[in-house]
Structure formats: C-alpha cells, structure tokens
Amino acid sequence: AAWAAWSGIGRAPAPEQPAASSTATKPDSGPILPIVAVLPFTNQTSDESQEYFADGVTEEVINALGRFKNLRVIGRNAVLRYKGRQERQAEIASELGATYMVDGSIKASKDRVRISAQLTEADAATVLWSDRYDGDLSDIFEFQDSIARHIAGTLAANISQVEVKRHFKEARPDQNAFDLLLRARAVGHATSRTANRQVRELMTKAIELDPNYATTHALLGEAIYSQVVQGWTEFPDRELGRAEELARRAIALAPDEPDGHRTLGRILLIRTEYDQARNALQRAIDLNPSDANALAVRGALQSFDGDLPGAIESLELALKYDPMLQPNYHFDLAISYYLARRHE
C-alpha cells in the first residue's frame, strides 16, 4: 500500500558527499542567531479548564516567532515540560540552550482577555521588553501578533516591515473556530486513538464554523495522517487521500503558512513521492526555520537519500529546537551517524 512505512535500516554506508549537497542552515555558519524559549503562559483564572487556552496562546506565540528567519525558537513540546515548575529562568535557559526567555500570564473570561508578557536576556536576567494587553476576547489575535512583533523587533533589528506583513497577513479566524483549534492542540492527535478521534471531531467542527481558516484544515489533515500511520483506520489509502486534500486546501487558503506544507510533505513522503515531499518540506522550513517537525522529517528523507551530512544537520537542528520529538527521529540521527562512520 502507498502508506506503508519505509526505513533506511540495512543500507550500506553511502558514499561521502560534499557538504554543499545539504540545504539545511548550518548552526555554525553566518551570524549567531538569538535562540528564544517561550515558557508556558500562566493561567491566572481559578478555572483549571482554561489551561488549554493559556497553553494554546503560548503555542501561537511560538509559531509566530518561528517564522522570522533571524530568530530560532525552542519548540512547544520542549517548553511545556516546565509548566508549573518552580525553576530559575537561567537554569531553564541553560537546559534548553536558549539565550532569551519569554514568559507571561493570561486571564480570559467569557468576553475579555488580559495578557502580560516579557522578554528577558537569559544570562543577565535583564528585562528587555514587557507589556500588558487588555481587551475583548476577539482581540487575542492582535495581542499575539503584537507580542511576536515586539520580541522579534527587539532581538533582530534588521527585520523588515515586508517580513512582518508577510507573517501576519492571514485573515482573522472565527473566534469559536480558534477556540476549537486550541482545544485540539491541547489534546494532541498522535497520543492515542481516542485523542486522535477527538482532534478530528474538533477540527471538523472548526472548519464548519470557518471554512477559510487554513490552520484547521492543516491540523485535520495532520490528524488523519496520524490515523493512517498508526493503523487506526481500515481505509488507509482513502483517508490518506483525504488528508492530502486538506493539506492542499490549507496551502491554497494561506500559502505563506507552514502547517499545510509540512503536512503535505509528510503525506507525500509515505506515498514515496520523494521529490514533491522534499519541495513541500523545504517550503515549510523556509516559512518557519524553527519548525522542528519539518526539519526532522526532512532529515529522515535526506538519510534515506544517502545525503548523510544533510540528514545529520537537519536532525541535529530539529532535536535542538525540540528535544522532545518522537524517539524515531533520535533513531534516524543515530543511523545517520553510523552510516557516516561517526561512531563517537
């Protein structure tokens, strides 16, 4: 079947290739880029059921910052493990390899929201920027964008207005559809069959509310992709086709958003359409250089291709930005080291 899993195990070591064959951004080439960790925003309501909202806003800020080419951002999975932990920011920054930290709080009621955020230099514990936002719940999108713009502008002075406009031009979604998106992200689509079904149901409702919200199409496609690769459907080929349609719809709605391209790349990879998969994954990385999942999938494909320098580069970056990625990516990196005869 087209969805069958593939593996590079059992291949002979590939011939050495020049480093120029890789398109990955070398961590030690060019200027040293700021590495930002956005800690989980604190839920200041007494209602624990609102935790998903605080976590969702955290992820939205991470995603927005990751799209700036002059920043690198630690992934959601890596920072969420610090939720509720009382550790000094300097210690967290050291563990994550971050040079700057963002933390904040959020208080949301039925119609109102308040967000406080600050940017700190990790070593000196110096606050570089802080602000508080009060407004209607519908203002949440502008607040998130403003936080990302200010942080990016503080850390990378050469960010152009053209780049800012490109990153924040997606139409504002329906508020209820956005809430369903945050709930779906809190569940996680690959953790269990039940969770996967919940995410698919939530995203189906979100698309009904706002058919033009690209991110919901991409997440539903990603959830169906997970359903297929986990063996949670009796009709894998049909469902994979549906996932591809959703990914392409997301791209059509918002071509400068990375989610649809990353989802499409994954789908094309297990369809063994490798050239198209490479293009889709590269586009996702161009749009969000900190997208650990896209980097990891590209690294796995590069390893399969025999581009071991490129695979090692991509996978090392992916695991740097998100050390909590799925174990198979650690395995892919280990295999790439072995085939490249890097046994240290």
Which range has the worst mean pLDDT, 27-31, 34-38, 43-47, 92-96?
27-31
Domains in the chain, CATH or no CATH each: 35-167 (3.40.50.10610), 176-339 (1.25.40.10)
Q: What is the separation of C-alpha 176 from the centre of its chain, rounded to a whole number of angstroms?
A: 22
- Give the pLDDT band of residue 276 (cuts 50, 70, 90): very high
Round to the nearest angstrom and report the end-to-end CA distance of the chain: 38
Q: What pLDDT, on the 0 to 100 scale, is given for residue 324?
A: 87
Q: Please give the mean pLDDT across all residues of the chain.
A: 86
* Burial of residue 163, with CB atoms counted within 10 A of its CB: 0-12 exposed, 13-18 middle, 19 or more buried: middle
Range with top average pLDDT, 59-63, 244-248, 289-293 = 244-248
**12 has a pLDDT exceeding 70:** no
What would the 3-class secondary structure string for 253-269 be?
HCCCCHHHHHHHHHHHH
Q: What pLDDT, on the 0 to 100 scale, is given for residue 25?
A: 40
Stretch 76-97: mean pLDDT: 89
**131 has a pLDDT exceeding 80:** yes
Q: What percent of the chain has pLDDT over 70?
A: 86
- Give the pLDDT band of residue 181 (cuts 50, 70, 90): very high
Which range has the worst mean pLDDT, 23-37, 93-107, 239-253?
23-37
Q: What pLDDT, on the 0 to 100 scale, is given for residue 119?
A: 92
Q: What pLDDT, on the 0 to 100 scale, is given for residue 90?
A: 86
**178 has a pLDDT exceeding 80:** yes
Half-sphere exposure of residue 174, counting CA atoms within 13 Å on the CB side?
A: 15
Q: Considering the entire predicted model, what is its pTM?
A: 0.83
Q: What pLDDT, on the 0 to 100 scale, is given for residue 157?
A: 56
**1 has a pLDDT exceeding 60:** no
Per-residue pLDDT tens digits for 33-80:
889 999 999 999 888 888 999 999 999 999 989 988 888 999 998 999
